Structure 1
Amino acid sequence: MTDPARKRHVLGGALALLGMVIVMLLVRCGGQGGDGTNDGTSGGGGQATSSGSSFTISGDAKEPITPGSSATIDLEFANPRRLSLVVRDMQVRVHAVKAPHADSAHPCSASDYTVDQMPEGTKVTIPARATRSLSGLGLPERSWPSVALVADRTANQDGCKGASLVLVHSASGSIGW
């Protein structure tokens, strides 16, 4: 083998080895799922994750909910990954209601509440190993999700006075490059 040919083989082998190291690092940093896509969920306004998730979501209503008004929810996303995360398809729903004043004459349930979701197509980018809220990301409050007590119910809603809601959050995320 001539000297130039040997140099090409050594250089080719070194580049192949470097390529394998880069792929291994990307797989290790990119987390689960071959496409880099994962779901994050949270329940009850606290932080929780689903199996295989790569981020957490939390967030509660910013103010008390009264008939005829809504309260925005400043969602917060925690990204433990070494790469930025693009979060989309954010959803919030009322999972349960704890209503200490509810009784058979004055019921209060999740159906007494409605959630306005974020505008379709909204995406946020969470930096690597960071926690960011919608407010911290500069999203205008009018595009945050909001929860309201349905005002046009035929039933007496006095049972909902002082109620607390268990919210469930969900979203999809993909590792940003």
Structure 2
Amino acid sequence: MQNESGYFRTAMRRTTTAVKVLLVGLLVMLVSAGTIFAASQGGSQGSTKKGVTIQATPASRTVDQGDTVTYSVALTSANGFSGTVTPTVSGLPASTTAVFAPASVTLGSGKAATVVLTVATSATTPNGKADLTLSTTAGDSQAAGVVVQLFVQAAKKTFSISGNLGQLLTPGSTLPLNPSFANPNNKTLALSNLSVTIAGITRTQAAVAAGLPCTMADYVVTNYSGGYPLTLPVGPSTLSNLKSSSAVWPKITMLDTALNQDGCKGATLQLAYSAVGEGN
């Protein structure tokens, strides 16, 4: 019995020893893992690697197709870096160019410099948002980039419309208008909502001297009644050039009343036009 009891105690001691060894092993593993994690954190927060930091303002810009925008880019020496720094940009949309001024700078330790990034779009730059990544090459290293946004929107299309009546109206008569268009853009425009209004009336000196009235109420304007859109070519054109029938052109009628027989006789009209044009 004693031998058995002694054997039992020995087994228990061995088991206890094994447990202790196991616990010690776990403790070593935990401490090792904690040390690796702390070292990783310390390495990222306390890095002494020389380089350059980048800041760009504003964070986003909006531009019409064909126009340019600028960003201010601050380059700062980090951890004692000194040398030549060349900024770069990537992520430009199609048909877009970018230039830094100056193209490179020389930084001393702890110094900073600012360069200007000019982004030039074209009439064919696609609409939408682009993420531009700005980075630098300094010596043999490249700094982590910062991202700015570029929002490109359709350019506002400009054009002009002009035209007056070819002759004077008489009471009860109607004359058509064949307005002229000027499209200075480099692409055709789709024109819609063409309308004309009477902006002013100039009476003859005799009518003014006699105090004879002539007002917009003495006229009726009939606007263009043809189909849309009207395709406006680059350069000058008229409604007749656009192969539009004179039957659908705008028209102006002078009413035939007792008052306007002399008041509106010989009067000239100033006309104002409006329309909506979109790029094709």
Whether TM exceeds 0.5 here: the answer is yes
Secondary structure of 2:93's counterpart equals helix
Q: Which of 162, 165, 168 is residue 272 of structure 2 equivalent to?
A: 168
Output the amino acid matched with 1:65.
Answer: L
Output the amino acid matched with 2:275.
Answer: A
Aligned pair in 2 of structure 1 residues 81, 162: CA closer, same or farther (>3 Å)?
Answer: same
Shift of 1:120: 6.5
Q: Which residue of 1 aligns with 2:263?
A: 159
- The unaligned stretches of length 5 or more in structure 1 are 1-15, 39-52
| Cα shift readout 1:74-94 (whole Å, capped 9, x = no counterpart) | 011100001111111011111
Q: Over aligned residues, Cα RMSD in angstroms?
A: 2.8
- The unaligned stretches of length 5 or more in structure 2 are 1-89, 97-120, 128-151
Quote the sequence identity (%): 29
Q: Distance in 1 between matches of 2:218 and 2:167?
A: 17
Q: Which of 210, 228, 251 is residue 122 of structure 1 equivalent to?
A: 228
1:62 aligns with 2:166: yes
1:138 aligns with 2:211: no
Secondary structure of 1:26's counterpart equals coil
Higher strand share: 2
Q: Which of 123, 147, 153 is residue 34 of structure 1 equivalent to?
A: 153
Aligned pair in 2 of structure 1 residues 124, 155: CA closer, same or farther (>3 Å)?
Answer: same
Q: Which residue of 2 aligns with 1:4?
A: none
1:111 aligns with 2:252: no
Shift of 1:102: 2.3
Secondary structure of 1:157's counterpart equals helix
Alignment: residue pair count = 141
Contact 1:76-1:131 within 8 A present in 2 as well? yes
Q: Distance in 1 between matches of 2:219 and 2:240?
A: 24
- Bigger radius of gyration: 2
Q: Distance in 2 between matches of 1:142 and 1:157?
A: 27
Runs of 4+ in 1 over 3 A off after TM superposition: 33-36
Aligned pair in 2 of structure 1 residues 26, 114: CA closer, same or farther (>3 Å)?
Answer: same
Q: Distance in 1 between matches of 2:153 and 2:258?
A: 50
Aligned pair in 2 of structure 1 residues 68, 122: CA closer, same or farther (>3 Å)?
Answer: farther
Q: Distance in 2 between matches of 1:99 and 1:156?
A: 11
In the superposition, the TM-score normalised over structure 1's length comes to 0.68
Q: Which residue of 2 aligns with 1:21?
A: 94
Q: Distance in 2 between matches of 1:34 and 1:20?
A: 12
Secondary structure of 1:62's counterpart equals coil
Aligned pair in 2 of structure 1 residues 156, 59: CA closer, same or farther (>3 Å)?
Answer: closer
Specify which structure has the bigger relative contact order, considering alpha-carbon pairs within 8 angstroms and separated by 6 or more residues: 1
Contact 1:96-1:166 within 8 A present in 2 as well? yes
Q: Which residue of 2 aligns with 1:49?
A: none
Aligned pair in 2 of structure 1 residues 134, 146: CA closer, same or farther (>3 Å)?
Answer: same
